[in-house]
Each structure stands twice: as C-alpha cells, then as structure tokens.
Amino acid sequence: MENSTITTGDRQNRSTKIRFQYEDDDLDVDQDETIEEAATGSSNLEEDSATCEPDDSILGSDKTSADYYFDSYSHFGTIASPIRIHEVYLLLAYFPLQEMLKDVVRTKTYQNVIYKNSFLFKDKVVLDVGAGTGILSLFCAKAGAKHVYAVECSQMADMAQEIVKVNGFSSGNAICSFITVLKGKIEEIELPVGQVDIIISEWMGYFLLYENMLNTVLYARDKWLVSNGLVLPDKASLYLTAIEDAEYKEDKIEFWNNVYGFDMSCIRKQSMMEPLVDTVDQNQIVTNSQLLKTMNISKMTAGDASFTAPFKLVAERDDYIHALVAYFDVSFTNCHKLTGFSTGPKSRATHWKQTVLYLEEVLTICQGETIVGSMTVAQNKKNPRDVDITLKYSLSGRRCLVSRTQSYKMR
C-alpha cells in the first residue's frame, strides 16, 4: 500500500485565524448569504538569474510519497500532516473527510451547483468518482438524478453504503432516486451501465495536481461518459503570485543554518525543495497574479497535466520577495450561472490553503519591476501521485539582479 504526506504550515495559528464553519453556516442551501457567496463564482473567485542546479545527490531527494509511508518526519518544514490522501483514509479515515466536509467553500459550492442546477441532473445517470462518504452522490440523488453510481476505493465505501441506506437512497429503498455504491478503484471496477450522462468528482489535490486523481476522472470520462455528457467541475486553473515572507522563511527554512550552534544546513537544502502547504495572508502579496494554466476537464488528456508555463509577475509596491505562491480555482461552466471557487490568498480559506515555493535568495523588488520565468509541472516518474516542479525566474531590477532555476518535489 502506498502512502504520502505533505508539509503543511501553521502560519494561521500565528496571524490569520482560519475557520471553515461560520456561526451562520449550515447546510441549508437557501438560507445563508455565505452559501450564495461561495457558489456564485464571484465571491471566492478573484479578479483577476545565477543558476542553482538541483542537487539530486542530497539526502533523500529521490524519495516519493511512497517512501514516506513510515517516514513522515522526513519532511522538514513541520511534522508532516498526513491528510487527504486516499490511502490514508484507511488509517485515519474520519479526520480528513470531516475537514473536507467542513470546508464550506468546497462543499457548498458543489451543493449549490447541484441543487441550483437540478435541470442538469433530472433523470440523468451520474457517476461520482471517489465518492468518500457519498456526499456528492446524495446531493445528485436529491436533485433528481435517475441513478447515481458512487465509486470509492477505500474502506469508506462501506460507510457510504450505510449512509446511502440510512438516508433512503439505496437501490430498492429509494425516496426519489437510487444510489449504488461500488467499492473499488475506478480503473478496476465494472460499472453496471455502459454509459453515464454526468461525471462529478472532487479530485483536486494540493497544488491542484498533487495525488494525481485527475487521471482517474479522465479515465472514467473516456470509458463511460456519453458523447454530449458533462464533467463537473469542467475547468481548473493554476495561478502564481509572489509574497513577502521573511518571518516564516526565517522560522522554517533558515532555522537549519544554526541549530543550538550547529550547522544543519543540509536539512535546509532539502526543506527548500519541499513546497509548503499553508495559508498566506493577502497582505503579503507583492505582485499581480499570473494565470499559468487552465485545464478543460471535458477535453484534456492526461498528458496536459504536465506542462511548462511562462509567467510575468509585476511588483505592486517596493518590497522583498521570499517565495512564489501557487493556488488554483475550479469552475462549473455548464451551470445556469458560472459557478466556482478559488483557493487563492484573497479568497475565503479552503482546506487546500496555498502552496508556497521558497526562493533561494531574497529578491529586492521595486514597484513596476517584473519577475519573469517559467514553471514546469510534471508527474514524478517513480510515483505518479507526486508532482515535480521546476521554477526558472529572473529579476533584472534596480536593486537586484537574479536569474535562477530551482526544483521542488511535492510528495
């Protein structure tokens, strides 16, 4: 059994307090204005060189998430939090699922997409890819789907089966619709029907692509979706911005340079390669945001998730830059009204937070100056669930002249 962990930060404990559940939040879709906010597509969505060659010989740099199964302390930023990885659900099943369900931006957006666009679901056959507790299947069934196939590979499928039954949606015991829970991997199960009208899935990982569940959705799409069928969500975009982050970089990265008088900078070198999943305060943002890549889930191929995208980040004030920050948004363009959410630092927090890529040296940037470069994103060859990121960037400013290449591994 493979497994993986990710380095997650605790910045919000020191500055911005993040919580998903607001006092006025409940799951009644018509009740509160925050639901509308989360789902309108506008609330949470925003407006829009020395070379440091990666040293692959350093400690553990070839490791993938599979190697971290019994070795979670090998992540250096913090003790790694083994969350939201499907194999982990077998071990720590309830915490990550609760965290995801309590992420109201995420869950209420899906709920609103389904309830407010029930015309899309009426009498349709739906496939829920990676059903977890079955929450999306329940939404679809309630919205009038003819039949929902809820496929889940972890032990949670047994709970989903029970949940479906208790709520009156199991086959042969339905109020208005049937849900069939199928336990197994999408790639291995046999679906009782040849085709489905809609594929719904919450497949997004940290940095959008970590865990690589997107391939599972694309596999299901190519195997079962009718020619004019819908994939929900159908668009996902990755963005990049730059932040000032002196305090946190000092605390998490430079710490290793002098630990009680000893040089542990070999660990610093390794921790620099591990993107940090953490919540960034919007006041830290120094530049514009650059769209790196939009993926059309209805049409793309698995290979499209590996790409090189150029970027140009323009400083909006004089400041220092310690890291580039990646985040994503997803949208459901087939809804009556464009709906979606962003995981960006200017939007309401989600459990995906943002992904922070620390830069080797501090950039001193003046307003109007630009950092130009490219980001290459690729599946790790050894473990396709992991993501390899290469960042090329340069700044040719009045106070700083830098051109570098840095490599990162999300594992």
Ligand X SMILES: C[S@@+](CC[C@H](N)C(=O)[O-])C[C@H]1O[C@@H](n2cnc3c(N)ncnc32)[C@H](O)[C@@H]1O
Taking CB under 6 A as the binding criterion, the range among 30-38, 119-127, 185-193, 347-355 that sits at the site for ligand X is 185-193
Taking CB under 6 A as the binding criterion, the range among 55-63, 147-155, 264-272, 294-302 that sits at the site for ligand X is 147-155
- Min separation Cβ 99 and ligand X, Å: 10
Catalytic choice (36, 99, 187, 202): 202
Active site residue 202: yes
Does residue 156 touch ligand X according to CB under 6 A?
yes
218-223-227 Cα angle (round to 5): 90
Pairwise CA distance, residues 290 & 288, whole Å: 7
- Min separation Cβ 89 and ligand X, Å: 5
Active site residue 211: yes
Contact (Cβ atoms closer than 8 angstroms) between residue 196 and residue 225? yes
Contact (Cβ atoms closer than 8 angstroms) between residue 341 and residue 38? yes
Of 246, 245, 240, 265, whose CA–CA distance to 255 is shortest? 265
- Min separation Cβ 215 and ligand X, Å: 8
Residue span 195-214 as binding mask against ligand X, x where in contact by CB under 6 A, dash where not: -------x----------x-
Pairwise CA distance, residues 191 & 208, whole Å: 27
Pairwise CA distance, residues 171 & 178, whole Å: 5
Q: Which member of 35, 38, 100, 145 binds ligand X (CB under 6 A)?
A: 100
Enter the tokens of residue 323: 């890291």
Give 211 or 274: the residue with its C-beta nearer to ligand X: 211
Does residue 86 touch ligand X according to CB under 6 A?
yes
Q: Which member of 136, 218, 292, 349 binds ligand X (CB under 6 A)?
A: 136
Taking CB under 6 A as the binding criterion, the range among 128-136, 271-279, 290-298, 365-373 that sits at the site for ligand X is 128-136
Does residue 233 touch ligand X according to CB under 6 A?
no
- Min separation Cβ 243 and ligand X, Å: 27
- The residues assigned a catalytic role are 202, 211
Q: List residues binding ligand X (CB under 6 A).
A: 86, 89, 100-101, 130-133, 135-136, 151-154, 156, 185-187, 202, 213, 216
